Amino acid sequence: MRLQGRIALITGGGAGIGRATAQRFAQAGAAVAIWDVNVEAGQAVAKSLGEPSCFRRVDITDRQAVQAGVADLVARYGRVDVLVNNAGILRDAQLVKFKEGQLVDQMSEAAFDQVIGVNLKGVFNCTQAVAPVMVRQGGGVILNASSVVGLDGNFGQTNYVASKAGVIGMTKVWARELGRYNIRVNAVAPGFILTQMVQQMPRKVLESMAARIPLRRLGRPEDVANAYLFLASDEADFVSGAVLRVDGGIVVGT
């Protein structure tokens, strides 16, 4: 019960890594507040966790909705001990794509803006709303979802890589700015994780992905959830400004 009595907010908690993290935190004794734009999925996870966990539909790109959601959490629980900025999206495309000397495709401005809006500005919105609560209560933990591609880069992911590299940068800034208030800020950088979306890929593709990983398997959502649990717990009390890779040893692009 490493999080006994603590209040944890997990964005994108309705599926994948977010859901696994919500379940792991609840098992460790935390009351988990789940935010997601998928109402059905978010409600199902909250129901499975039982009281005192809860769900609220929040679009993290909407600053007013984020502020209102945090105010509701404080009214409900009185505090927020852990924020997991997990929500994220993909809109992959090459920067420019040529065929026989002709430009045939490119990443759209809308695709770039959407990913930056959720993956980067959404993290900014949520952290800026929660940080004052943590300062006033005397401390807290902020955990940000980056990715190995934010460290290594990846083909066809200009927007996603930019967002995840930006998250790492913000993590290091906030660790410096908020440390004096007993707030620890860290990032987790997952590799290829076998979420429900990934499981739908062809078997050959999955086998090819696993072959590139030194541990010879894809990660499980629980692998990342366990990393978040460690960083949220008192066992990581002197860890701040870190980027923890959970990737089986892969170096993307090699």
Q: Known catalytic residues? A: 160
User: Which whole-number Å values give the CA distances from 49 to 7, 30, 53, in the listed order?
Assistant: 13, 10, 6
Of 48, 129, 64, 46, the closest CA to residue 56 belongs to: 46
Percent of the chain whose pLDDT exceeds 70: 99
Where are the chain's structural domains? 7-246
Residue 253: the pLDDT is 66
- Tell me the CATH class for 7-246: alpha beta
pLDDT, tens only, 92-149: 999 999 999 999 999 999 999 999 999 999 999 999 999 999 999 999 999 999 999 9
User: Which whole-number Å values give the CA distances from 173 to 121, 159, 161, 230, in the listed order?
Assistant: 15, 21, 19, 21
Q: Taking residues 198-220, what's their average pLDDT?
A: 85
Report how far residue 192's alpha carbon sits from residue 202's, in angstroms, rounded to the nearest whole number: 15
pLDDT band at 204 (very low <50, low <70, confident <90, very high): confident
Residue 233: the pLDDT is 98
Q: Which two tokens stand for residue 199?
A: 């499981």
Report how far residue 39's alpha carbon sits from residue 22's, in angstroms, rounded to the nearest whole number: 16
pLDDT band at 76 (very low <50, low <70, confident <90, very high): very high
Look up the pTM and report it: 0.94
pLDDT band at 254 (very low <50, low <70, confident <90, very high): low
Residue 196: the pLDDT is 77
